[in-house]
Structure 1
Amino acid sequence: MIILIPSFEPDHKLPELIQELTNSGTGAAILVVNDGSGPRFDAVFQQVKALGATVLAYPNNHGKGQALKTGFSYIAANLPGHDVVCADSDGQHCVTDILRVAGEMRAHDAIVLGERHFSGQVPLRSRFGNAATGFFFALATGTRLRDTQTGLRGYPAQLLPWLLSVRGNRYEYELNVLLEASAQGYVLTNVSIATIYLAGNESSHFRPLRDSLRIYAPLLKFSLSSLVGFLVDTAVFLILMAATGSLWQATVGARIISAGTNFGLNRQLVFPAGRPLPLKRAVTGYLALATFLLGANYGLLLSFTAAGVPTLAAKLLTELMLFLLSFAVQKRCLFRGPAAGAQKTSAANKYSQAQLPTSTDSAQLHAEI
């Protein structure tokens, strides 16, 4: 087993973790990836080396996802056949929990998540962020996970080529792993671990605005696509009304053009995994969904207003519910990528040589042993 620890600008907690892992007597190899921390942190990594860990380093910061991929690539090339447990370097994961994840992974040969229970003194941004991401994940996959942002994870050795094929270089990478694992049918399981936040989690390098945008990018792109569709619908409606003077022609014509625009944006930009699907199949599914949503819109509005909900509130609630439903159906069914077997084969072939991802400073990467 390999314990992989991505690290950016670490403090004393990283050497302490390495020491505790060494003292645990597991015999696991420890691989630390210095994600461009800079010369100020050389002393920390020298201490890590002295404690027996292998350190990979490159000069520029590329993000946690890229650091993990660098570690996976190194393991696949130099230590093939070993399972990997990923842990954070900021003191949030204790040795006992790391070993529990490793044991669960060996027992089930599955992806194992160290699941935190958010109670007690937990920073608000962590509590809210994890709840929001959990809701988004359930919406996109139909699978409910309590902790989608945990950095303590176990991966069986055979998944390393696939892990290298998952998109993302920064914090969004770990969520993408879960999304694609669910889509491809990989088993996800979890074990409960301690929730540890030291000094308000001040050592975390998560940037709330920028990194949240990366994580929620699919939902944001879907929202923008819907907005563009609305604007196109409105503009075309006004043009056709001026040209024909016919309400029904303007309404139908505007809806056809805006629906085509929305379909194209969703297929090409919002859900790119669905691009390889036959166009006829995608169009047929989209039309069926649009027809269903139209009927559901009327039915929900009628139900809410009959129950005494004010018209405006009923309209807003209906649109929100159908927006989320439309996203879930298009993500999970309509624009779902090719079959899992084909993607697994493609990923294995693409990364069979276990080369470093090109966005890393691969020419300057060095292992300090």
Structure 2
Amino acid sequence: MKLSVVIPVYNEIQTIHEIIRRVQSVQIEKEIIIVDDYSTDGTREYLQTLRADHIQVFFHEKNQGKGAALHTGFAHVSGDVVVIQDADLEYNPQEYHLLLKLIVEGRADVVYGSRFLTGSERRILLFWHSLGNKLLTFLSNMITDLNLTDMETCYKMFKADILKTMRLEQQGFGFEPEFTVKVAKQRLRIYEVGISYHGRDYSEGKKIGWKDGVAVLWYLVKYRFFAD
């Protein structure tokens, strides 16, 4: 079973080389699809020189957002299963096995890697950011009738065929609630597994802010009640 790792990238020159190395080291048949969302810190230039087997790189000609980068990546997927990988070092690619196991065994269509449902190590910081994530997950669960612990997690792994049945619209961080509502409405088999987490603070490059969190509330309502 082939895994397609889709990596949206924006201004990650400090981590891009290392995250590629870590993903490459995972002992799973895979392809790596990197989409640069018009980085301005040297990331784009680095990726333009990248030459490696099983890696495709695509470039946006203007900054459009994480969701837009994912859409571009999804359009070039050739694997059986897709996983989203942020370009920072917050998530450990060696844990793909934990998520993939449930799909390979035929038990799940979608698997979320939860930062809160875990006995693994996680960096301690940003109380209000963590509380905001839990609040958004709570509201998402109310609207979707799911019982997730981490709706906003980067690690979402799913069968590639799902992309053929789902029209995704959101260009920015609204991808997370849109995807969650739509997999819930399709009544797909959704699982969670605990993962480790090595979070960044804003001085280290974390990008999502409180305004993105407020927008999530609208996206949850929109895709549950007013859109397909």
Deviation (angstroms), 1:2: 1.0
| Counterpart residue identity of residue 83, structure 1 | V
CA contact (8 A) 2:90 2:198 kept: yes
Measured in 2, the distance between the counterparts of 1:66 and 1:34 equals 10
Q: Which structure shows the higher helix fraction?
A: 1
**Which consecutive segments of 4 or more residues in structure 1 shift more than 6 A?**
none
Deviation (angstroms), 1:50: 3.1
CA contact (8 A) 1:218 1:271 kept: no
Deviation (angstroms), 1:271: 3.1
CA contact (8 A) 1:10 1:44 kept: no
Higher deviation after alignment, 19-28 or 62-71: 19-28
Q: How much identity, in percent, do the aligned residues show?
A: 21
Pick from 166, 169, 172 the counterpart of residue 167 of structure 1.
Answer: 169
Q: Mapping of 1:191-210 within 5 angstroms? A: 191-199=193-201, 202-209=204-211
Pick from 14, 35, 38 the counterpart of residue 37 of structure 2.
Answer: 35
SS in 2 for 1:271: helix
User: Could you say what the CA RMSD is over the residues aligned between the two structures, in angstroms?
Assistant: 2.5
Measured in 2, the distance between the counterparts of 1:219 and 1:69 equals 19
Normalized against structure 1, the TM-score is what?
0.54
The aligned residue for residue 346 of structure 1 is none
**Structure 1: gaps of 5 or more residues:** 222-268, 274-336, 338-369
SS in 1 for 2:76: helix
The aligned residue for residue 96 of structure 1 is 94
Deviation (angstroms), 1:82: 2.5
Measured in 2, the distance between the counterparts of 1:135 and 1:23 equals 35
CA contact (8 A) 1:14 1:89 kept: yes
Measured in 2, the distance between the counterparts of 1:270 and 1:87 equals 26
Measured in 1, the distance between the counterparts of 2:142 and 2:29 equals 41
Measured in 1, the distance between the counterparts of 2:109 and 2:221 equals 31
Q: Which structure shows the higher strand fraction?
A: 2
The aligned residue for residue 150 of structure 2 is 147
Normalized against structure 2, the TM-score is what?
0.85
| Counterpart residue identity of residue 129, structure 1 | G
The aligned residue for residue 131 of structure 1 is 134
Measured in 2, the distance between the counterparts of 1:120 and 1:7 equals 22
Q: Mapping of 1:228-267 within 5 angstroms? A: none
Q: Higher RCO, 1 or 2 (CA under 8 Å, sep at least 6)? A: 2
Aligned length: 220
The aligned residue for residue 271 of structure 1 is 225
